[in-house]
């Protein structure tokens, strides 16, 4: 005896199907029974307890912009890499040869070609953000350039 297959796909019909609307009513009832509150509208950020910006993220953005400007200068004049190396040497002698890990990483990075240095210092990764916190490129931007960046990126 050969069984005939139905052309319908999916689960076999049980005759107990409910509409989409009924299924949503059942879901809401289960959630309400669990103590979950239905969200009816969006809440504006000003009325929430969360501040609209993070001062840490703002500082990271400023640092990234400053390093992009420094990288552009450095690519035009590769001799500026020596300025960063001098800073590291000066800090190393001041601290009796004991540099923090971030500055030791910069020592290794500054041995690379200028294009690689520029790429590393401007990448938007977490590692690069940490490196920018201990940047040896101090003194390569003017006071006016730094002021304009602070004004452009303020809360």
Task: Delimit the domains of the chain by residue range.
Answer: 55-152
Q: Where do we find the tokens 């609307």? A: 21
Q: What is the pLDDT of residues 41-65, one digit of tens each?
A: 666 655 555 555 678 888 899 999 9
Closest of 102, 153, 107 to residue 127, by C-alpha = 102
Q: What is the pLDDT of residues 122-139, one digit of tens each?
A: 998 999 999 999 999 999
Percent of the chain with pLDDT over 90: 44
Q: How many CB atoms lie within 10 A of CB 126?
A: 9
Q: Where do we find the tokens 């969360």? A: 50
Q: What is the pLDDT of residues 71-119, one digit of tens each?
A: 999 999 999 999 999 999 998 888 777 778 888 899 999 999 999 999 9
Spatial distance between the Cα atoms of 69 and 64, rounded to a whole number of angstroms: 9
Q: How many CB atoms lie within 10 A of CB 137?
A: 23
Spatial distance between the Cα atoms of 148 and 129, rounded to a whole number of angstroms: 21
- pLDDT of residue 8 exceeding 70, the answer is no
């Amino acid at each position: 005896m050969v069984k005939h297959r139905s052309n319908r796909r999916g689960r076999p019909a049980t005759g107990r199907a409910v509409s989409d609307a009924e299924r949503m009513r059942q879901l809401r009832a289960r959630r309400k029974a669990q103590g979950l509150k239905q969200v009816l509208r969006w809440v504006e950020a000003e009325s929430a307890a969360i501040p609209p910006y993070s001062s840490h993220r703002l500082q990271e953005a400023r640092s990234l912009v400053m390093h992009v400007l420094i990288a552009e200068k450095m690519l035009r004049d590769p001799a500026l890499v020596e300025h960063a190396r001098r800073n590291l040497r000066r800090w190393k002698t001041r601290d009796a040869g004991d540099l923090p890990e971030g500055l030791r990483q910069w020592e290794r990075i500054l041995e690379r070609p200028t294009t690689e240095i520029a790429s590393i210092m401007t990448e938007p990764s977490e590692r690069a953000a940490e490196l920018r916190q201990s940047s040896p490129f101090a003194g390569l931007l003017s006071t006016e350039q730094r002021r304009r960046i602070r004004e452009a990126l303020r809360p």
